[in-house]
Amino acid sequence: MLVVMQSHATEEQVRAVCERIESLGLRAHPIPGSNRTAIGITGNSGAIDIGSLEAMSGVVECIPVSKPYKLVSRDAKEENTVVRIPTPAGEVCIGGAALAVIAGPCAVENREQAMAVAQCVKAAGAHLFRGGAYKPRTSPYSFQGLGEPGLKILAEVRERFGLGIVTEAIDNESIDLVEKYADVILMAAEYILSEGNYQLILCERGVRTFSEHTRNTLDLSIIPAVQSRSHLPILVDPSHGTGRRNKVLPLSRAAIAVGADGLIVEVHHDPDHALSDGAQSIIPEELEQLMKEVRQIASVVHRTLN
């Protein structure tokens, strides 16, 4: 359910509607827009008695949202969401006119490796540094990640190179720890928004098909499809999406052309000895090439780089 407020509704009127929603045992999500504020309601198992809400001052109407993803939907918010990530070197925006490139190794292997790759990432002009500290793998004998010591190395990368940090949390237990060190945590959209965090970035990283020439099949048609349904920014991960180094640049070009808000790519200074995903990690020279090409294609689709 979406409560649409009048364009001149006051903050007090919005607050009063939120309080009424909460008093019904539901959750209110005020979504400010350029013309008006809408208030998303979640937490209801059945129909909500809208009569009492519709009669409140400042309310235009109550609209039922039939989609299972309510807050993620463009029905809830017409304008694109821009996620702002503060980094020591300034703010990086994802979802606005400027594209963002996130680059770094699959996993943080040790301090020297992380610093060497971060140096290249910074020099190539990418905006954020990626690197996993927790690597749940198919085989128990594969490298599983460094855990908290890996997160501490990422914190050092942020300090030294001014790069914001993007890393994964794999469960409830690791999320508190990851939150201490990371600027962006990649994890399912409606669940996160429904708990009140609207700073969310989607990511296409391939789907499983019968095709054997790639690890996954990168479904770039999802970009315009998501953009018509959702206000959230969306990145493309051509590294996991293909699993092959020689496909990362071509699909990066295609991702920007199709309208993605940026890229997340794996880069390694010595991919043949990488502890995970070396086969899909590009080398620093390729990242430089990628940044150049992305900049050129961005201008064709009327975008810039952060």
Q: Return the range that interacts with Mn ion (CB under 5 A); candidates 178-186, 250-258, 267-275, 276-284.
A: 276-284
- Residue 251 Cβ, how far from Mn ion at the closest point, in Å? 15
Which one-letter amino acid corresponds to residue 22?
E
Q: Return the range that interacts with Mn ion (CB under 5 A); candidates 56-64, 83-91, 269-277, 297-305.
A: 269-277
Q: Return the range that interacts with Mn ion (CB under 5 A); candidates 36-44, 95-103, 149-157, 277-285.
A: 277-285
Round to whole Å and give the CA distance between 114 and 95.
27
How many residues sit close enough to Mn ion to count as binding (CB under 5 A)?
Answer: 2
DSSP one-letter string for 95-124: SSSEEEEEEE-SB---HHHHHHHHHHHHHH
Q: Return the range that interacts with Mn ion (CB under 5 A); candidates 31-39, 88-96, 257-265, 275-283.
A: 275-283
Using CB under 5 A as the binding rule, whether residue 277 contacts Mn ion is answered as yes
- Contacts of 176 by beta carbon, 8 Å cutoff, 6+ apart: none
In three-state secondary structure terms, 85 is strand
* Residue 134 or 181 having the CB closest to Mn ion: 134
User: Considering only residues 106, 153, 154, 186, which one is a binding residue for Mn ion as defined by CB under 5 A?
Assistant: 106
Strand 128-130 to strand 98-104: parallel, antiparallel, or no bridges (unpaired)? Answer: parallel
* Residue 199 or 214 having the CB closest to Mn ion: 214
The answer to whether the CB of 181 falls within 8 A of the CB of 152 is yes
Using CB under 5 A as the binding rule, whether residue 133 contacts Mn ion is answered as no
Angle at 287 between CA 282 and CA 293, to 5 degrees: 125
Using CB under 5 A as the binding rule, whether residue 237 contacts Mn ion is answered as no
The answer to whether the CB of 100 falls within 8 A of the CB of 127 is yes
- Residue 105 Cβ, how far from Mn ion at the closest point, in Å? 8
Binding residues for Mn ion (CB under 5 A): 106, 277
